[in-house]
Amino acid sequence: MSDLAARYQDLPVSDVLAPLRAALADRPNAVLAAPPGAGKTTLVPLVLADEPWLKGKIILIEPRRLAARAAARRMAAMLGEEVGATVGYRMRLDTKVSAKTRIEVVTEGVFTRMALSSPDLEGIDCVIFDEFHERALEADFGLALALDIQSGLREDLRILVMSATLDTARVAVLLDDCPVIESLGRSFPVDIRHLDRAPGERIETSVASAIEAIHRSVSGSILAFLPGQGEIRQVASRLEGRLGPLTDIQPLYGGLSSQEQDAAIKPAADGRRKVVLATPVAESSITIDGVRIVIDSGLVRQPVYEPSTGITRLETIRASQASGDQRAGRAGRTAPGIAVRLWRAEQTKALPAFSTPQVLASDLSAMVLDCLAWGVSDPRDLRFIDPPPDAAIAEARVLLQDLGAIDADGSLIERGKRMRALALPPRLAAMVVSGQEDGHGYAAAELAVLLTEQGLGGQDADLEVRLSRFRGDCSPRGTAARALAGRLAGGKSSSGGPCPAAALLVHAFPDRIARHRGARGKFVLANGRGAMIEETDRLAGSEFLVIADMSGKAQAARILAAAELSGEALTDVLDNRAVESEECVFDPPSGTVRARRIKRIGAITFAETPLPKPDEAAAMAVLCGAVRKLGFKALPFSGAGLQLRDRIGFLHRSLGALWPDVSDEALLEGLETWFAPYQPGVMSLKGIDREGLNEGLLSLCGPGARKELDRLAPTHYQAPTGSRLPIRYEAESPAIAIRVQELFGETRHPAIAGGRLPLTLELLSPAQRPIQTTRDLPGFWQGSWADVRAEMRGRYPRHPWPENPAEAAPTHRAKPRGT
């Protein structure tokens, strides 16, 4: 391989091979930044294989199987060999290596299991992480493991991180401030154009229209980026028969067979063109020869984990700027090209610079389980560029305990060790282990492989249908998948009798047992979430399902994979998982607390039996909850009770914390303190005692409150005439309404709280109509009284209107007739 660099000096990365070799000869770690098409994936491992420090193997880690196969085949071709000789690959369903293999191309998950199985990576001298900018969870974890091995057991282990677009400074710091080598590349110019999508137009329509338009005006093959398989199939259907007989339409995504993927990657035959409809799998690592035109939807479908429900859903979002640059660069690999972006040019700056690292938004249960097997109880003790979030780690531990992998102290137990030994996510590993215990290990393993291999058995939501197709699939992929199921089942090709898929799935997804609710196709899950399926689907009429996969948010999640739960399997689930309890519930129509015995799994109720009388304490707790939900208006305060509350509230506002807060919010929050103790035996809204409400309010004020309350905030004001007038406390200032004649002779303004707080006086005419409002009665007598007197004495001549009311006698009577 010594002449390879000279033979492939046209590859841009060849310019930096010398400094890269020097860096790794002197230091154990390095970072190589090179744009797509620079040749880093294929030429770098081949050149490093000749380095004096390399005695064992090079492991090249690729993010996808498609990229791993393509890289291995390209390197083998560069050596003039078949794959499996000097260069081989190893992945879940396909392995081609031999005793002569010195460079193994593996997927990220495979490397993780290699490290866990051989903590010193015996026989491996160099680990290369390719396309690290994608920041897959397995890549971040794999790098953390490699660094741990290097620091503890293998100081001689070389680690090289390669990327097309990456924040190289952060990675270099993680790798002990290692050298960063940059290859500028030699791509051809790309004409970037923008086509803004019409509001509401589906992305499939926009992409198909853009392909048709540019296909008519520009020669060369086209690569279109779409977020997922569904969009690819729809665009392919729209384009069928519209591009002419000399253009082939090729899908490219992870769920295709290796033969189908190879067909998409190969250059178009002489005299023909091709249109490749791809997911982001084609952004990096692979080269599609002949592509001069890129159509970019600007979208990507990413998994988003919801810790509250334990569900990972796929969400379609805007791709990052780095992703857009990589996609556009595909058009300039071999000649000047064109990249058509389906968004406005000014929107590009608003896109995130890089994709969100999966470690920050993923289910971490598998990683936590692997860490425990590694001897690390907290993943944050390893070296990550972005430390895993605390909340996600806590949720992972809860799930692992529910699955029986760890004990209450968080320690790995025997069942967890068996689960970790399986190359499966923890939920599916738990299903296989439980299946083995029940005599259905192979059936569980079949189902686990089906759920982890995209597209296997078709796309039907009914897993029984997909299992049937999978079992009859004689393709190389189907055969390899069944062989994998046998290995997962402990070498057995079958075990036990027939077993419904739902009976197996409950071991993996007990929180996703679902019951039909409302309209056809609507379901509620045990975890409280809602889900739906098309009304025309066979599963839409099922009473119970176990859901393995779904997408979408909140109550509108769409069921993608499920199995019907019925018959003996349902009975077993109820016997083993349903919990019976006596509960008190509030019945809104009657306003009453009722007791019932309930049999349920999570949020799903299977049976309900009324009980004669609720427990008093439980009933009061439910009644308090109902009052909180209904609001303060649900409490039947009397007029005196509302005034009592207003009086206390006034003193709280005026005198501070010496008096309690009796706002709606404070009273509802403290129902257990002031309400419940004064409503003994009450089990309905109608039964609430009004006097008990008043006593409860007074209890908040402390001992002796009634006397002090009457002194500081009396209920009434006694006028000089002897009239008792109610004081209103609901406003900021307490107020009374009083006829002005009843205050004659008063030289001081009426006040409460020991004379500290003046009353607001709403002065009335003899006809009880407002004359004036004042908080300064002496000032009123001396000021505007003259104007009031002049106006009122003519209107009410039978009532006294003295010139000096401060010296007149108070009265509430009119003058006798004739006077």
Q: What are the pLDDT digits (tens) for 376-432?
A: 999 999 999 999 999 889 999 999 999 999 999 999 999 999 999 998 999 999 999
State yes or no: pLDDT of 493 exceeds 70.
no
- State which CATH number among 3.40.50.300, 2.160.10.10, 2.60.120.620, 3.40.50.2300 fits the domain covering 4-182: 3.40.50.300
Beta bridge partners, 774, equal 761
762: Cα separation from own chain's centroid: 58
Confidence of residue 817 (pLDDT cuts 50, 70, 90): low
Position with higher pLDDT, 45 vs 612: 45
> 110, 29, 143, 131: which is closest to 385 by C-alpha?
143
Distance CA 454, CA 459 (A): 9
pLDDT at 396: 93
pLDDT at 354: 81
Confidence of residue 449 (pLDDT cuts 50, 70, 90): very high
State yes or no: pLDDT of 56 exceeds 70.
yes
Over residues 318-331, the mean pLDDT reads: 87
> 122, 114, 2, 136: which is closest to 56 by C-alpha?
122
Tell me the domain boundaries of the chain.
Answer: 4-182, 190-359, 422-575, 578-713, 716-807
DSSP 684: B
Over residues 784-812, the mean pLDDT reads: 92
What whole-number percentage of the chain has pLDDT above 70?
Answer: 96
Over residues 631-645, the mean pLDDT reads: 94
Q: How far is CA 436 from CA 227, 281, 444, 493, 504, in A?
A: 38, 36, 8, 13, 11
pLDDT-wise least confident of 22-26, 366-370, 665-669, 701-705: 701-705
Q: Note the residue count of the chain.
A: 819
Confidence of residue 636 (pLDDT cuts 50, 70, 90): very high
Integer Rg of the chain from CA:
39
State yes or no: pLDDT of 756 exceeds 60.
yes
Confidence of residue 522 (pLDDT cuts 50, 70, 90): very high
Average pLDDT, the chain: 90
**Chain segment 227-251, per-residue pLDDT in tens:** 988 899 999 999 998 999 999 999 9
State yes or no: pLDDT of 748 exceeds 70.
yes
Q: How far is CA 373 from CA 325, 346, 413, 419, 439, in A?
A: 40, 49, 10, 11, 26
Q: How far is CA 189 from CA 50, 275, 335, in A?
A: 35, 21, 8
CB 362 within 8 A of CB 392: yes
Position with higher pLDDT, 554 vs 237: 237
CB 74 within 8 A of CB 40: no
pLDDT at 198: 84
pLDDT at 111: 95
Distance CA 730, CA 645 (A): 9
Beta bridge partners, 524, equal 515, 530
Give the CA dihedral 602, 426, 492, 121, nearest 10 degrees: -170
Beta bridge partners, 107, equal 62
CA 391-315-224 angle, 5° bins: 140
CB 515 within 8 A of CB 523: yes
pLDDT at 110: 94
Confidence of residue 543 (pLDDT cuts 50, 70, 90): very high
Beta bridge partners, 224, equal 277, 295
Over residues 645-674, the mean pLDDT reads: 92
Confidence of residue 498 (pLDDT cuts 50, 70, 90): confident
CB 212 within 8 A of CB 243: yes
pLDDT at 266: 85
4-182 and 190-359 share one fold: yes
Position with higher pLDDT, 306 vs 320: 320
DSSP readout, 101-132? --EEEEEHHHHHHHHHH-TT-TTEEEEEE-SG
Over residues 531-544, the mean pLDDT reads: 94
Confidence of residue 35 (pLDDT cuts 50, 70, 90): confident
Confidence of residue 816 (pLDDT cuts 50, 70, 90): low
Q: Retrieve residue 403's tokens.
A: 């699955």
Distance CA 660, CA 677 (A): 18
Q: Retrieve residue 436's tokens.
A: 């083995």
Confidence of residue 496 (pLDDT cuts 50, 70, 90): low
What whole-number percentage of the chain has pLDDT above 90?
Answer: 65
Identify residue 665 by its one-letter amino acid code.
Answer: E
State yes or no: pLDDT of 555 exceeds 70.
no
Distance CA 181, CA 43 (A): 15
**Chain segment 147-189, per-residue pLDDT in tens:** 999 998 899 999 999 987 667 888 999 999 999 999 877 678 8
Backbone angles phi and psi of 570, in degrees to 5: -65, -40
User: How many CB atoms lie under 10 A from the CB of residue 27?
Assistant: 15
Q: Retrieve residue 782's tokens.
A: 């001396």
Give the CA dihedral 81, 83, 87, 93, nearest 10 degrees: 180
**Bridging pattern class, strands 544-551 and 557-564:** antiparallel
pLDDT at 2: 55
Q: At what angle do helices 426-437 and 365-374 cross, to 10 degrees?
A: 70
Q: Which residues have a Cβ under 8 Å from the Cβ of 581 and sit 6 or more positions away?
A: 597, 598, 600
> 406, 574, 584, 554: which is closest to 502 by C-alpha?
574
**Topology of the domain comprising 190-359:** Rossmann fold (3.40.50)
Three-class HEC string of 356-405:
CCHHHCCCCHHHHHHHHHHCCCCHHHCCCCCCCCHHHHHHHHHHHHHCCC
Confidence of residue 497 (pLDDT cuts 50, 70, 90): low
CA 83-12-332 angle, 5° bins: 95
Q: Retrieve residue 252's tokens.
A: 């490219």
> How far apart are the two ends of the chain, measured CA to CA in Å?
132
Backbone angles phi and psi of 328, in degrees to 5: -65, -40
State yes or no: pLDDT of 311 exceeds 70.
no
